[in-house]
Structure 1
Amino acid sequence: MRFLIIIPAHNEENNLPFTLDSLQQQSSKDFKVVVVNDGSTDRTAEVIRKYTEADSRFETVSLQKSEHQPGSKVVHAFKNGLQTQAMDEFDIICKFDADIILPENYLSVVETAFATHPEFGLVGGLLYIEKDGNWVYEGNSNKHHVRGPMKAYRKECFIQMGGIRETLGWDNIDSILLDNLGWKEVVLPELHVKLIKVKGADYTIRPADYYGRYFYFLGLNRFLAYIASSKEAVKSKSASFFFDIIRSYENCRSKKLELKITKEEQKAVNDQRLKMLKKKWLKM
C-alpha cells in the first residue's frame, strides 16, 4: 500500500526537520511527502529544499500567507497539497503536522492495520508531549479518537466522506462522517507520536469564542450546543464561561455563517452527539 502524506507548514523551521527525518527513517519506504509551505516568513522554505533536493519522494507547494483561523487554515493548505497529486496512485492519504516525530514503524504498522482490517477507514497513534524531561500522553482527547496531527485515511473512505472540511472542528467532523458511512476509526496505542509543541499555542481567539464557534461549525443544534457549553463551564468552574460560549454560538447563528457540511451530515453529527449524551450522561 502506498502513502500520500501532506504536511502543512507555517514557520516551522525548528520543528519540521524532526518530522521529515522521522519519515526518512521509516521502515516502510513506499510513500510520497508533499510539504505545503503556507506563507512562512522564517527559513521553512530552506529546510524543505534540503529534503526535496536530496530525496525524490519529497515535494513542496508554496502558498501566499493566509489568515490564521483555527482549523480552516491548515485544511486549506492540506487541500492545496492534495490537488497537486493523482490520488489513483495511492492507497492511504495522510494529513500530518509539521511538528511531530513518528516512530520508525509508524507507516508499516498503519499499513498492516489497513491491510488486515478492510473496515478501518481512519487509523493513527497516540500523541505524547514532553514534560519534565519525559514524554507523557497528551490527554487532550479520548484514546479512541485519532488526533489532527497524525491522520491516516484509507483512500476509499476519504473519497466517500468527501475529504476533510475546511472548518473549525474538521478533525471531529471526519470521525462522525466516516462512522456514519460504516467505516471505523481506530487508534493504535502502541504507536507513540511525539508532539514537539502544544497545539493551540498560536491561536489568538478567546477560549469562549473558540468553543462557541466550534460548536456552531460542528453543526450542533441549539440543545446540544448548550449541553456542550455547560460541560465546558463545569470544567472551568465558571458560570460566566457558559454564557460567553453561548453568546459566541448565537452570534454565529444570527449571522448564518456558512457550514461546510450538508444538512444530512449535520443530522448525522447531531444524532451521534445525542447518542453519546444518552450513553454517558443518561446511562440509556
Structure 2
Amino acid sequence: MTTVTIIVPAHNEERGLPATLESLLRQTAPAEEIIVVDDGSSDRTGEVARSYGVTVLRPEHNLGSKARAQNHALPHCQTDLVVAVDADTVLAPDYVERLKPAFDDPDVVIAAGNVQTRFTRTIWERGRSIEYLFGFHFHRPIQAGAASPMVCSGCCSAFRRETLVAFGGFPERTIVEDMDVTWSWQIGGRKAVYVSDAVAWAADPETLTYLRKQVWRWMAGFFQNVRLHLRPMARRKPMLALWVVLAVLEILLAPLWWTTPLVLTLVWQLPAAETLAWWLGAELLLFIPTLVYAAHRRRLSVLRVLANIPFAYPTRAVNTYYAWKGLLVELILVPLGLAKTLTVYEKGRAT
C-alpha cells in the first residue's frame, strides 16, 4: 500500500487554513500524517492547526520561502509519497486517491492535478478563473499527451519521497520550486504526470496589489529556470524545451498582439470598430470552445464562465508587464551583473 504524508507550509494563514485541513482530513485515501509548518506566523496559525489534531512544526524563525518551510518538514516524513499543499488550497475528497495510481510506474516521481480558482468575486479572481480553465483544459492536456508537462503545480503536487530526499529536498535556488523540480527531474530522465481528474481549488489574489506580487514571483521564477535549465533541456528533453521556447515567444510577441488594433486603425486606416471586432473575434474562436468544454468538465455554468472572459484581459495585461520585466531582469540584467535575482518570497494573497 502506498503511504502518504501531506506537508502544509503556512505563514499567517489562520483564515484559510481550516478549509484546507478539512479537505485533507476528508480524503478518501487518508494520509498517514499531515504536517503543518507554522513558519514564523504572528497570528493563530499554529493554534488553528493543532485544533485539527495534525502535527505542527514551528521553526525558530521565519524561513522566508515555501521551499524552506517544506524542507523543514521533510526529515519528519517516512512515507512513500509526500504531497505538498498550500495553506489556502482545497483538495477534492478523492484528490490523493486519484494521484496514487500514477506512481505505479516506477519512473514517475512527481504528479499533480487540475487547479481551479476557489473564488470568483473580484476582477482579478474572475480573470484568473479563465486562465486556469483554459490552461488546464488546453495547454496542460497537450503537454501531458507529449509526456512533458511544463509544471506540476506547487499548491498540490505529490512527490516520490526517496527521489525528493536524494535530490536534496525542495529546491531553494529559484523562487518557484515547483517548476524547478518538474524541469530538473524530466531533464534527468524521470517522469512528471498530469492527472486531469484530480481537482484542487486555489485561493487566488483578490486585489491588484497581491496579483502583482504573485505574477512577478511567477515570471521571475520562470526565467530563473529558463536561465538554469534550457540548455540541458534542449539536449535531453527537447519536447519540454519546445513548450518553454513557445512560452518565451508568446511573451515576446504579446506587445504586438496588444497593439494590433491600434496599428491596423492608425497605419492601415481600417475602421476602429471593425478592427476591434476582428481582433476579439479571432481570439474568441480559440477561447470559447475550450471554455465551454472546461465548464462541462467542471460542472460549471457555461454562461457564468463566458461572462468572466472580459476580466481575463486586465489579468493578461498584468501578466505581460511582469513577463517582460522577468525576461529583462533574469535573462539580461542578472547575467550582466546589473541586477540581483529575485529571492524574496512575497505572498500573492492577503492574509
TM over 0.5: yes
1:248 paired to 2:329: yes
CA contact (8 A) 2:329 2:341 kept: no
Match of 2:58 in 1: 62
Counterparts in 2 of 1:42-81, with a 5 A limit? 42-52=43-53, 58-63=54-59, 64-67=61-64, 73-81=65-73
Partner of 2:227: 219
Structure 1 length as normaliser, TM-score? 0.71
Q: 1:168 aligns with which of 155, 172, 175?
A: 175
* Shift in Å, 1:109: 1.9
Q: Aligned pair 1:193/2:200, yes or no?
A: yes
Q: Does 2:147 match 1:146?
A: no
Are the structure 2 counterparts of residues 181 and 230 from structure 1 closer, same or farther at C-alpha, using a change threshold of 3 Å? closer
Point out where structure 1 has 5 or more consecutive residues left out of the alignment.
Answer: 53-57, 68-72, 261-284
Is residue 74 of structure 2 the alignment partner of residue 82 of structure 1?
yes
Deviation per CA, 1:158-205, whole angstroms, max 9, x where unpaired? 234433211223211211221123221111111111112349964765
- 2:5–2:31 contact (8 Å) kept in structure 1: no
**TM value normalised by structure 2:** 0.59
Residues in 2 aligned to 1:174 and 1:106: alpha-carbon distance in whole angstroms: 21
Aligned position for 1:271? none
Q: Give 2:224's aligned amino acid.
A: Y
Aligned position for 2:90: 101
Q: Which runs of 5+ in 2 are unaligned?
A: 141-148, 232-240, 260-319, 344-351
Answer yes or no: is the 8 Å Cα contact 2:334–2:341 preserved in 1.
Answer: no
CA shift in 2, pair 1:34/1:123, >3 Å? same
Alpha-carbon RMSD across the aligned residues, in angstroms, is 3.8
Query: Which structure: greater helix fraction?
Result: 2
Structure 1 residues 25 and 5: CA distance shift in structure 2, 3 A:
same
Correspondence list, 1:2-81, <5 A: 2-52=3-53, 58-63=54-59, 64-67=61-64, 73-81=65-73
Distance verdict in 2 for CA 1:206–1:49, change over 3 Å: closer
Deviates further, 235-244 or 158-167: 235-244
Give the fraction of aligned pairs with identical amino acids, expressed as a percent. 23
Q: 1:221 to 1:180 in 2, by over 3 A?
A: closer
- Per residue, is there more strand in 1 or in 2? 1
Amino acid aligned to 1:147: S
Task: Give the 3 Å change call, closer, same or farther, for CA 48–221 of structure 1 in structure 2.
Answer: closer
Q: Which residue identity does 1:188 align to in structure 2?
A: V
The residue type paired with residue 81 of structure 1 is A
1:101/1:193 contact within 8 Å kept: yes
Structure with higher Rg: it is 2
Name which of 74, 99, 111 aligns with 1:123. Answer: 111
Q: Structure 1 CA distance, aligned partners of 2:182 and 2:34? A: 24
Q: Conserved in 2, the CA contact under 8 Å of 1:213 and 1:248?
A: no
Alpha-carbon separation, structure 2, partners of 1:174 and 1:139: 24
Which range is displaced more, 20-29 or 139-148?
139-148
* Secondary structure of residue in 2 paired with 1:78: helix
Q: Which whole-Å deviations, capped at 9, do the CAs of 1:194-232 have from their partners, x for residues lacking one? A: 112349964765967864564135434899999965532
